[in-house]
Amino acid sequence: MEIRGPVLLPARRTDIELRTLDELTLVGELAEPAEREAVATLVTLHPLPTAGGFMDSHILRKAAARLPALADLAVLRFNTRGTTSPRGTSQGAFDGGRAEAFDLAAAMEFVRERQLPRPWLVGWSFGTELALKYGRDHDIEGVILLSPPLHRATDAEVAAWAGTGRRMVVLVPELDDYLRPAEARERFAGVPEASLIAVEGGKHLWVGESQTRRVLTEIVAAVNPDALPLPTEWDGETA
């Protein structure tokens, strides 16, 4: 069977709740390899909820559907405050990236409590802003930024990553609506740890199976390169 679209590969999937410092409950899911321990953990941060972003935004959903089986990665997804998905609605209200700092902190506390290995932040669009603004406060190996708009994260907040020892992988679509590769190179030039990957033909929403596979491949290349190349077919049962 070809691995594409909504295919759901085997994993241990657990509905979870996160509790924030300002006493909100956020809903989410943890997907882990079905029969092995994870080698690393992806803490995902979804696109802008006021523009339809949520924990099931397709790249994050497909990461959780495929990467526990294909790359031995744990994938944590959750709805930030006030965001709704089929999993449910997180308490609170959207705060434009300010109080969402508490949401990321709650996710990282969950990672610590569960002793999940080698956490990385994977932000997409609005999620990259949260990763850049608040990720340095947490014990992570690195950040993977998908389509960063750099609307809310300031130049000073970006520059503050220099010298932190955390890896930074920046995937910039050639045809992005907000930040294209040439400008992105300028905006991230002060961060030696940043590896900027310009994706030819890519767009902000990474629509299509070829774009999905490219994004998931770059994530795995950063976090668990021994799992490459990712298979495009699956012989076993699906979930």
Residue in 171, 175, 215, 211 with CA at minimum distance from that of residue 194: 171
pLDDT in tens, the chain (239 residues): 999 999 999 999 999 999 999 999 999 999 999 999 999 999 999 999 999 999 999 999 999 999 999 999 999 999 999 999 999 999 999 999 999 999 999 999 999 999 999 999 999 999 999 999 999 999 999 999 999 999 999 999 999 999 999 999 999 999 999 999 999 999 999 999 999 999 999 999 999 999 999 999 999 999 999 999 999 999 988 98
Cα separation, 111 vs 43, whole angstroms: 9
**Per-residue model confidence (pLDDT) at position 236:** 87
Q: Kindly report the CATH number that applies to the domain delimited by 12-156+215-225.
A: 3.40.50.1820
User: Which residue shows structure tokens 């099931």?
Assistant: 56
**Per-residue model confidence (pLDDT) at position 109:** 98
Tell if the pTM clears 0.75, that is, is over it. yes
Residue 143, strand partner residues: 121, 168
Q: Are strands 12-19 and 25-32 parallel, antiparallel or unpaired?
A: antiparallel
Q: Where are the domains of the chain?
A: 12-156+215-225
